[in-house]
Structure 1
Amino acid sequence: MKKERCDAASGVESIELDATVVATIRFKAVPPQLLEVDIALCDAAAAGQVDMYNSTPLFVAATGGCTGAVDTLLKHGAEISCSVLYETCHYGQAEAVAILLDHGAKVFANTGQQNPMCAAARPGSVKILELLHECGFDINPSDQGMISTPLHEASEIGYVAVVEWLLTHGANVDATDGAGKTSLHHAVNRRHSDVVTSLLDHGAQADIQDTVRSYRASRGKYDIVQLLLANVSNTQRNLTVTS
């Protein structure tokens, strides 16, 4: 429900958003144009309310790509948290990410919290990666929650364009994740031939023991087998063939 009140300073009637309205916004049960009007009338106090999922209106608007609402909420004093930026990247909302960064979200660059670069790699958004990179977010630090790098994420999912962008911007091709796996391990196991090729072209070590042996996981993808065998040392190839 909406709660109407009169602003003592301006005498203008404003609207606060309670949890029910925030939940309605989350599930987009109202037309987008009405959503913009509702949020445009909120104030700083309303911007800090949360719904049953502990999500603020800013979180809901940003992850949903409602850029007009995001801009209005920020102008009314809504606070940006690292989780808001992270999840907005995860949902691939490039325009909303740009607004958040313009309003100070860049302070979360390399703070040791979850790395938004990893989140941006998951939906395959080169645009968001570029925005974050320009604001100083590091390509190589691991995601503290998943213990992986953006290159691991993109390689596992199979976004070759993202993989190429990361590698050309300094991503460590042989970095390992929390399980000791490289991006090449993930690309092989997921049978992404184009990603495997890209990683090898950028110097990925195909003679790492687990990588070579994991070619069996390609399950019939003989092109991946050939790529790996063409890039391993003779000694390692003999070990693989005879094992």
Structure 2
Amino acid sequence: MDFTECYQDTCSAVGLAARAGDARRVQRLLKRGYSADVKDNRGWNPLHEAAASGSTECVRLLTTSTDSMDSCDYVNSLTHNSETPLYFAAKNGHVRSVKLLLKVAADVNLKTHDLSCPLFAAVDGGHQETVKVLIRHGAEVNGQRSVSGWSCLHQAVYRGHADIVRMLAGVSSLEAVDDYSITPLFLAAQYGHSQCVEMLAGAGANVNCQATDLATPLLIAAQEGHLACVEALLAHGANPNLYCNRDQWQLPIHAAAQFSHVRVLERLLEVTERECECSKGKVSPLYQAVLSERPASLAPLLRAGYNPDAQPCFGYTCPLELAMESSYTQSDEGVEIVRLFLGAGASISDQAHSLALRSFQLLQLVLSCRGLPPSGPERAALAGLALAEVDSASCWLPLLLRAGMEPALLLHPGLFEEAGEEVLSFFLEFVNWRDLPQEIQNILSRRQAVSSVTTMKPLEGIPPLAHLCRLQLRACVGSQRLAERSYVQRLPLPSLLHDYVQFSDVFRKHCNSIGILSVS
């Protein structure tokens, strides 16, 4: 026999012939004494090549050659990764080669380094006939068959091979779990294989199984937006009210809201109990919609009657506060979320008002939806919150005054001490600056004395008669009424004066000076 062939990087002559499926050449080489057991740098011998290429005739020749039968281990010879010829034949779906190898005592359950096996490889490739043959010859269908701990049924579900799933469901453990306690049914729900969900649930798989982190198939299907899987799970008894985390608050409806799977969310709204809506220790799904900036999720929740005020969570007294945080309101989605809450009647806490006062866009939205607080004490409280945000006065001052806030509520020394000169010059247009409290006049005088610009009105100047007239009109009808265009139009005044008595010229000038569009 010629054993002189030894290649570090290439296949032997017999191996190359087997790879090409050239049975005649394999036969000639074997007759000339070439070895059938020379391995290449991967540890492949000619039988591996023949099995991988699906050349059944080459497999027959190699397994019946004189030298190859010196050891019964030849048919189960391993590559450097512990793959057998049967493994390659099964992986590539060469069912005739599989049958022949099994006939000559190939071990059907030998594992590779990565814990795969012929059956697992055939399942992965979707080779239904090969799977049947392997099972009939005793292939182990249960147990961990991969490094992740998956069974063959896991892999069939993952690939979406419905016919193989149907086959394995009758002979495999439906509750086999991987390293994270994930079952095949869970995988089917995760990857949207609704047909597999139906098969497994119909065969008796537990639809309420929980992974290590307590996630359920229904939660993962909702998170991924697989409506058909959600429907199948619910039809087979999946519990939408089973909490899916250790803090006992997350339900499938939260996952649907977080990822804005609206159709799934609407379906879960029909079956989910409302315990999480306002209960202490729970979390309303409204928070999930806000955290992920999903107005499309928020709208159906509010339409379904979820309380817009909800319970305190994540350090916020209500979802609206969270929505008004600057990090959530720099986008159109964030502003739309605030709009939806206001439209649903959400209460505006002091903290929410404070957050709105820092943003021209948000405060304009709040005032357009709700207007000013109706009562004097509430309005005074809002003025107090505004005065605590002097740095943002150039934004909130024109909005509050345009909405009908009484300027007297804002006559506070802190504003005149800290606000910019442009803001003060604007504000003085709404008062009789000769009639200001002495403390404020002293502050203004002191600021004028050290100012390098002359944006503020000289306090010694006499207010124009027209200015005094519109101040008097406001005192007679009230700031709130004067802010209403329809009311002003009914006053016995020439239409040319309507804008003037509403201080429109002052608002326009201020908006232009600070670079905002309009307060109307």
TM-score normalised over the length of structure 1 = 0.79
Aligned to 1:159: 226
In structure 1, C-alpha distance between the alignment counterparts of 2:87 and 2:290, rounded to whole Å = 47
RMSD: 2.9
Q: What amino acid does structure 2 have at the position aligned with 1:214? A: Q
Q: CA deviation at 1:25?
A: 5.7
Aligned to 1:240: 319
In structure 1, C-alpha distance between the alignment counterparts of 2:116 and 2:291, rounded to whole Å = 40
Of 71, 78, 92, the match for 2:132: 71
Query: Please, which runs of 5 or more residues in structure 2 have no aligned partner?
Result: 1-44, 49-61, 65-73, 144-150, 312-316, 323-520
In structure 2, C-alpha distance between the alignment counterparts of 1:151 and 1:163, rounded to whole Å = 6
Q: Deviations 1:80-118 (Å, cap 9, x if unpaired)? A: 11411122212211111111123x21xx24477642210
Q: CA deviation at 1:203?
A: 2.5
Matched, 1:120 2:188: yes
Q: Is the 8 A contact 1:167 1:202 kept in 2?
A: no
**Distance change >3 Å, CA 17–CA 176, structure 1 → 2:** farther
Aligned to 1:10: none
Aligned to 1:149: 216
Q: Deviations 1:150-207 (Å, cap 9, x if unpaired)? A: 1111111110111111112211112222354211221122221111111112225461
Alignment of 1:1-243 (within 5 A): 1=45, 2=47, 4-5=62-63, 16=76, 18=78, 19=83, 21=85, 24=88, 32=93, 35-43=94-102, 45-82=106-143, 83-102=151-170, 104-105=171-172, 108-110=173-175, 114-144=182-212, 147-180=214-247, 181-205=250-274, 207=277, 208-219=282-293, 221-231=294-304, 232-233=306-307, 236=310, 239-242=318-321
In structure 1, C-alpha distance between the alignment counterparts of 2:176 and 2:187, rounded to whole Å = 15
In structure 1, C-alpha distance between the alignment counterparts of 2:106 and 2:88, rounded to whole Å = 18
Q: What amino acid does structure 1 have at the position aligned with 2:264? A: V
Q: Is the 8 A contact 2:88 2:118 kept in 1?
A: no
Q: Is the 8 A contact 2:284 2:310 kept in 1?
A: no
Q: Is the 8 A contact 1:97 1:128 kept in 2?
A: yes
Q: Is the 8 A contact 1:218 1:225 kept in 2?
A: no
In structure 2, C-alpha distance between the alignment counterparts of 1:78 and 1:41, rounded to whole Å = 15
Q: CA deviation at 1:79?
A: 0.9
In structure 2, C-alpha distance between the alignment counterparts of 1:194 and 1:157, rounded to whole Å = 12
Query: Please, which runs of 5 or more residues in structure 1 have no aligned partner?
Result: 7-13
Q: What amino acid does structure 1 have at the position aligned with 2:228? A: A
**Distance change >3 Å, CA 16–CA 98, structure 1 → 2:** farther
Q: Which has the higher strand share?
A: 1
In structure 2, C-alpha distance between the alignment counterparts of 1:50 and 1:110, rounded to whole Å = 22
Question: Which of the two has higher C-alpha Rg?
Answer: 2
Q: What amino acid does structure 2 have at the position aligned with 1:225? A: L
Q: CA deviation at 1:76?
A: 1.1
**Distance change >3 Å, CA 42–CA 129, structure 1 → 2:** farther
Q: CA deviation at 1:126?
A: 1.8
Q: Is the 8 A contact 2:219 2:255 kept in 1?
A: yes
Partner-residue secondary structure (3-state), 1:213? helix
Q: CA deviation at 1:242?
A: 4.8
